[in-house]
């Protein structure tokens, strides 16, 4: 296998990595906000269930969660998942895992905002919903951006865990190429590392520019 063919194969599989990454972001970030609301709910059973969910997601390995989501329907309920469930299980597992982390990040950001902000909004006649979305949320986004950036960078690397249930993303493809006859061998993993590094660099660059754009006061 030539280096050009190797890079072509890695590029194709990297599209799957990107798909996992973007679908996880699109699903986990808003779900994390919903989880935060559940956690701060005055309805005790909902709050307790949310606390347990966050504890389990943060206290068990993502690789184990992937296996539970993929094999669980059949082993627990006797349901045979559809043929495309492999990729679906990856997305579901990643979303519910990262939503728990984002919920805690949001909680830290929201709780760091002085209570005087809420009191001022009440005096000005804002409802609770208006206060949150017009006053609290914009400030929270700015405060949690560094922590969110760290989680997103971790997500880029975590996409390689999808191989545990047979999803052929870039890391899986790199392993397949490395053991194939006449392959570039170790060079394949070096090339895969470059793919991950460059993408992580772009993510970090974009997030840094976003953070600077939100730095409306010093």
Which residue is listed with tokens 């392993």?
175
Range of the domain at 179: 3-213
CATH number for position 43: 1.10.3720.10
Residue 160 inside a domain? The answer is yes
- In tens, the pLDDT along 75-113 reads 888 888 887 889 999 999 999 999 999 999 999 999 988
Residue 166 inside a domain? The answer is yes
Q: How many domains does the chain have?
A: 1
Residue 218 inside a domain? The answer is no
Which residue is listed with tokens 């679908």?
23
pTM score, whole prediction: 0.90
| Alpha-carbon gap, residue 67 to 62, rounded angstroms | 9
Residue 26 inside a domain? The answer is yes
Residues near 197 by beta carbon (within 8 Å), at least 6 away in sequence:
none
Best CA proximity match to 26, nearest among 100, 129, 98, 107: 98
Query: What is the predicted pLDDT for the residue at 134?
Result: 87
Residue 106 inside a domain? The answer is yes
Query: What is the predicted pLDDT for the residue at 133?
Result: 87
**Across all residues in the chain, what is the average pLDDT?**
89
Best CA proximity match to 90, nearest among 40, 29, 28, 146: 28
* Lowest model confidence (mean pLDDT) among 30-44, 75-89, 153-167: 75-89
Q: What's the average model confidence in pLDDT over 130-156?
A: 90
Best CA proximity match to 200, nearest among 161, 157, 159: 157
Query: What is the predicted pLDDT for the residue at 216?
Result: 60
């Amino acid at each position: 296998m030539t280096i050009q063919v190797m890079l072509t194969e890695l590029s194709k599989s990297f599209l799957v990595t990107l798909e996992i990454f973007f679908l996880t972001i699109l699903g986990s970030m808003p779900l994390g906000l919903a989880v935060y609301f559940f956690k701060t709910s005055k309805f005790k059973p909902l709050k307790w269930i949310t606390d347990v969910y966050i504890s389990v997601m943060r206290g068990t390995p993502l690789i184990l969660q992937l296996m539970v989501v993929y094999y669980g329907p059949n082993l627990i309920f006797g349901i045979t998942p559809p043929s495309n469930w492999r990729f679906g299980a990856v997305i579901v597992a990643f979303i519910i895992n990262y939503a728990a982390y984002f919920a805690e990040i949001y909680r830290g950001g929201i709780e760091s905002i002085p209570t005087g902000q809420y009191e001022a909004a009440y005096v000005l006649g804002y409802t609770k919903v208006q206060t949150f979305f017009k006053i609290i949320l914009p400030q929270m986004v700015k405060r949690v951006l560094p922590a969110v950036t760290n989680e997103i960078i971790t997500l880029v690397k975590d996409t390689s865990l999808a191989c545990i249930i047979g999803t052929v993303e870039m890391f899986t493809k790199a392993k397949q190429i490395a053991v194939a006859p006449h392959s570039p061998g170790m060079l394949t993993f070096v090339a895969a590392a470059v793919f991950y590094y460059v993408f992580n660099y772009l993510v970090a660059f974009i997030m840094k520019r976003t953070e600077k754009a939100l730095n409306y006061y010093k």
